[in-house]
Amino acid sequence: MKATVACFEQNYNSVIFAQNKSMAEIRNNWTREEVAAIFNTPVMALLYRAAQVHHAYQTTGEVQVCTLLSVKTGGCPEDCAYCPQAARYHTDVEAHKLLEYDEVITKALIAKENGSTRFCMGAAWRNIRDNKDFDAVLEMVKGVASLDLEVCCTLGMLTEEQAKKLKEAGLYAYNHNLDTGENFYEEIITTRKYEDRLHTIEHVQNAEISVCSGGIIGLGETDNDRIDMLHTLATLKQHPESVPVNALVAVKGTPLENMQRVSVWEMIRMIATARILMPKAMVRLSAGRNEMSIEEQALCFMAGANSIFAGEKLLTTPNPDFDEDKKMFELLGLKPREAYKADKLTGVLIEP
C-alpha cells in the first residue's frame, strides 16, 4: 500500500512540476496517465491546484449565466439511457413539436432580462435534417443572435454543410456532449457510436463554431470511464470552448431511474480536473445543480466552474430559478460574465 501511495505521489508531483514549468501553456497532448494522476489527487490538493489554474486563466468570481430552452421536446428515436425524451421510454415528458419563432424570441428576451448572456436551444433530434424545421431553427438563431446573446444549439448530429449554415445564421456555439468514456458508451447508448460524436464535433470545429462538449456522471460508470472522457476532451485538436459537467438527474421511466445521486465530491473532482486540463474552457456546472446547496455550489466554483444554467427547467428536468440564483450571486459576491467576452479579449468578434 505504501508503495502505491509513493508511486501516486511521484506521478502527481511530476505532473505538477511539468505544469508549473509551463503554466502559460495550453496542452492537447495529455497522456492518459497524467489525466489519471490529476483526477486521483486527494480532493483538497486537487481543489487548491484547480483554483490556482482558475486564477491564472479566468476572472475569479465571474460566472456566466446561460439559459437552455427545449425548442422541440420528446419523441427522439435515440436510446440514451438517461434521457426522458427518448420515445421508447415511458416518462412524464410531454412531447411537443418545434416551438414558434415568436415564443422562442420571447423566452430569449426573458432570459436576457434575468441576466443570461448565452441562450441555448435544444431539439430532441437524432440528427439535423435539411427540412423546414431546420430552416425555422436557422431563423431562430438569427433572431437570438440579434439580441446580443451568445447563441448555442444542441440539435444532434450534423454535417459540415449544416454547421456552416448555422454559422452563417450567427450561431456562436454548438453543444454535443461525449456523455461518458468511450469504453462505457455502448452501455448507455446503442443507437450511435462514440466516433459519430467525435465526427460531429469535428464538423462544428471545421465550421469555426465553438464547441460545447462535456458529459454526465452517475450513469453507473467507473472512475476510469470518467478519466477516459476527460482525456478525450483534453486531447481534441482544440479544447472545447465550453465543458458542461452534469450529474445524472434520474427520471422515472428511464432505464437509469434507480441510480443513486452522485456526491458533490465527485462533481468537484470532475470540475477541477477539467479546469486543470483545459484552463481556458468555460466549465459549466450543469444538470443536478437543483439538488445542491449554495455551499456545495461554492465549492464547485472554487474548483473552477464558471458557468451555470438558470431558469426553472434544464430542457425537461428541474433547475433553480432566476431569483434563487440572484441570491446566491449576492451571497458569494459573484459577478455575471458578459456576452462574447472571449472574443472581446482576443479581438475576434462574431458578427450576428
Residues annotated as part of the active site: 76, 80, 83, 120, 152, 212, 284
Residue 95 Cβ vs ligand SF4, minimum distance, rounded to whole Å: 11
User: By CB under 6 A, which span of 79-87, 143-151, 258-266, 288-296 interacts with ligand SF4?
Assistant: 79-87
Question: Residue 328 to residues 243, 331, 334: CA-CA distances in angstroms?
Answer: 22, 5, 8
The residue (of 124 and 302) whose beta carbon lies closer to ligand SF4 is 124
SS3 120: strand
The residue (of 88 and 280) whose beta carbon lies closer to ligand SF4 is 88
Residue 79 Cβ vs ligand SF4, minimum distance, rounded to whole Å: 7
CA distance 112 to 147: 8
User: By CB under 6 A, which span of 27-35, 83-91, 145-153, 221-229 interacts with ligand SF4?
Assistant: 83-91
Would you count residue 339 as binding ligand SF4 (CB under 6 A)?
A: no
Name which of 282, 268, 277, 177 is nearest 230 in CA terms.
Answer: 277
Would you count residue 85 as binding ligand SF4 (CB under 6 A)?
A: yes
8 Å CB contact between 127 and 165:
no
Would you count residue 287 as binding ligand SF4 (CB under 6 A)?
A: no
8 Å CB contact between 322 and 114:
yes
Selected from 36, 76, 151, 302, the binder of ligand SF4 by CB under 6 A is: 76
User: By CB under 6 A, which span of 82-90, 207-215, 277-285, 340-348 interacts with ligand SF4?
Assistant: 82-90
Would you count residue 120 as binding ligand SF4 (CB under 6 A)?
A: no
Buried b (16+ CB within 10 A) or exposed e, 166-202: bbebbbbbbbbbbbbbbebbeebbeebebebbbbbbe
Q: How many residues bind ligand SF4 (CB under 6 A)?
A: 8
Q: Which residues of this protein are in contact with ligand SF4, per CB under 6 A?
A: 76, 78, 80, 83, 85-86, 124, 156
